A and B are shown apart, each in its own frame.
Chain A
Amino acid sequence: MSNMAKPILVIAIAVVLAGGAAFYLTRSTEPEASATSDSSAGGAPAIGPGHTRGPADAPITLIEFGDYQCPSCRAYHPVVAEVLKRYPDKVRLEFHHYPLIQIHAHAMTASMAVEAAGEQGKYWEMNDLVFELQPEWAQSQNPETEFLTMASRLGLDQNKFMQSMRSLELQDRVLKDVVAARQGNIEAVPTFFLNGKQIQPRLAVDDFVKIIEAELQAIGAAGAAK
């Protein structure tokens, strides 16, 4: 038994050390909010206005390139919503589609569903619902049925919704975002730009707040997080 004790002790110590090292790395590789908001980061790709949420004259425009089937985008969704709640007069969100169809088979359909809802004035309501219910429709064989149910839940005209889902014009709108994202060398989703500068906030409202406050100070607007 004593022959076993030494190796077992070494293994236990090694597991603890590996766990500690891995935990340390998860903390140390998280980008600092302030360090990534500088102008050395990439600039926003040249693109027309996307769908916006928040006042048109807000001093800060937060651009998001997102994929509705991406788990990280879903995780960031409530964080961004909270940021908009905290800065109702100062931050405007502009969403652009970047469906990574190679790895997310239903991402394009989801973008089309949100755009289709937008045709009936419910873009953001559908945006919220699609993110919220992502685990359900992402696993579905035929997500269109799920999106149709969501459309019905939002009180949309279902025939019109299905027509819009197949609209080439809407498809073109989504693809324009994709082209812009590729031309801008966007490598991951979600990717955020704040007043034209790429930022890499952690998954925390406080990180966004730090970056926004710094930007408000830089442009001379008084920060007033509520």
Chain B
Amino acid sequence: MNVRGLALALLSFTGMIDSLYLSLKRDPGSIPCHITKGCNDVLTSAYSELAGIPISWFGFVFYITVFTCAVFALFGSNQLLKWLLWPALAAFVISMGLVGVQAFVLQAFCEYCLASAALMTAIFVLVLRSPKAAANTI
């Protein structure tokens, strides 16, 4: 059983729901915060878009990429997981940057964005942990 592949698939599937929810809900209207304060402040800020595209859509593309690689790994093509290292690193760095923006620039937190940052961190740790081992289990 490829535990790492399964964990990556579950994490990225959760991320797909989170990022799709933000992308669909965002246009336009209020996004309720249950734990944190300031979802709307974060999601309507200038940092929520890149070239006019909501960054949640970029998150969705990342998660679907991870999910695809993880599913192929579960079906025996483990080498695809190696390709995730740089995208996972980029996603981790960007998500940490966005957490910093929430904390120090906007001073408002969006729980869905924090959840996504946590998922990206977990994905990065899983991808980073044993890339060689992943390649050797083919």
Q: Which residues of A contact B (CB under 8 A)?
A: 3, 6-7, 10-11, 14-15, 17-19, 21-23, 25-26, 29, 31, 70-72, 74-75, 100, 102-105, 187-189, 200, 202-203
Contacts and interface: CB of A to CB of B under 8 A. Distances in A.
**Which label, helix, strand, loop or mixed, suits the secondary structure of the A interface?**
helix
Contacts, number: 90
Interface size of B as a range:
35 or more
Contact of A72 (B28, B32, B77): B28
6 contacts: A7-B71, A7-B74, A11-B68, A14-B16, A21-B21, A102-B107
A114 B68 CA distance: 51
Given A10-B71, A19-B20, A202 B29 contact: yes
Interface stretch (B41-49, B84-92, B113-121, B123-131): B41-49
B105 interface: yes
Contacts of B107: 102
Contact of A14 (B38, B42, B45, B67): B67
Interface string B57-78: 0000000100110011011010
Given A19-B20, A21-B17, A187-B38, A75 B106 contact: no
A71 B67 contact: no
A202 B42 CA distance: 19
A103 B41 contact: yes
A102 B105 contact: yes
A3 B75 contact: yes
Contact of B13 (A3, A18, A26, A202): A18
B28 A75 contact: yes
Given A23-B20, A72-B40, 4 more contacts: A18-B17, A26-B21, A31-B32, A105-B46
Contact of A103 (B13, B21, B46): B46
Given A19-B20, A71-B44, A7 B30 contact: no
B64 A26 contact: no
A103 B106 contact: yes
A195 to B, nearest CB: 21
A15 B21 CA distance: 13
Given A11-B71, A187-B38, A188-B41, A72 B17 contact: no
Contacts of A29: 25, 31-32
| Most chain B beta carbons < 10 A, residue from A70, A75, A187, A200 | A187
A188 B67 contact: no
B138 interface: no
A31 B33 CA distance: 11
Contacts of A202: 29
Nearest to A201: B30
Contacts of B108: 102-103
A100 B67 contact: no
Contacts of A203: 28-30
B29 A75 contact: yes
Contact of A70 (B9, B33, B44, B105): B44
B124 to A, nearest CB: 20
Nearest to A5: B75
The 10 closest A-B pairs by CB, nearest first: A22-B20, A103-B45, A18-B16, A75-B28, A22-B21, A188-B40, A203-B29, A26-B25, A7-B75, A7-B71
